[in-house]
Chains A and B, each alone.
Chain A
């Protein structure tokens, strides 16, 4: 029924995952400012992709399965990005003068 993945593939993926884990821990100690987060996320995405494609066998799965995987990730992205866009854009449009400073949108920073 399903395509049998050879065990060697699993071992190689496992080795790659361990390596990437070591890398992500190591990179933490190198200061790159904002890029620390970006690098950490890129490594995490790579690790997750390896698990999805090989351990979960999505690489050999039907197009329908792939569609659901992509849709799920996309929908989570919608939630994060659209919610985030509110916070990011709070300062973008000036509030009309007549409302005065009492009516600025609330600042949640303490």
Chain B
């Protein structure tokens, strides 16, 4: 490595960096080419999702411990969860994942006019999800099931129930926060997509937000059974 002739150019005078006259406007010059940039962004988003897995994983770990320790109490609290509403909300969120995947597909196939509509659809379905959650939260507030805020619970399991509801609000709240951030990212994408910033040549941000959105969907896919479907008391449907 110490000899100059191991450098590829044999000229004595080093060439100035070649101007990438045809480079995409989104190309960042510390990369070698667009492909390297895309691969790096892709891996970067996956590494970020791994950190999110560990973040939510901490919540799931704590929840697992308490659920096991207090299984009777947890089963008792399940009568306060509306399974049908939760199930419908799950379907809505899955639908938003579909529209997101179709958005990425539209970008990939250069359907630049359709792309914003799929993004709008994703936001719409995500918003429906959040509105339903807001209803559920409000209902729980009226039933005095918000820990720390006039929490009241009948029966022998009051303390443990408070822990369950703490996890309910923290886990779904953290999930909802991630959805709100996702909606913000999607809004940004829509603005850029309408300016035709994305095409089959460059749609990295769409794909990255897609990965994020699907991840948030996956968190809910686990939250729903764990928080809503846990008990023996769901005969005849619950009420929220």
Contacts and interface: CB of A to CB of B under 8 A. Distances in A.
B222 A48 contact: yes
A61 B42 CA distance: 10
A31 B232 contact: yes
Contacts, number: 126
B105 interface: yes
B218 to A, nearest CB: 5
Nearest to B53: A72
The 8 closest A-B CB pairs, nearest first, are A76-B57, A72-B50, A40-B225, A25-B87, A72-B53, A14-B98, A28-B229, A80-B61
Contacts of A35: none
Interface string B78-114: 0000011001001100110110111001001100000
Contact of B46 (A5, A51, A68, A79): A68
Interface residues of A, number: 49
A92 interface: no
Interface stretch (B63-71, B128-136, B137-145, B164-172): B63-71
Chain A interface main SS type = helix
B230 interface: yes
Interface in A1-15: 1-2, 4-5, 7, 10-11, 14
Interface string A36-73: 11001101100110011011100001101100110111
B161 to A, nearest CB: 12
A21 B84 CA distance: 11
16 contacts: A1-B35, A10-B101, A21-B87, A21-B94, A28-B234, A43-B225, A44-B222, A44-B225, A55-B101, A68-B50, A69-B46, A75-B50, A79-B57, A79-B58, A80-B57, A108-B69
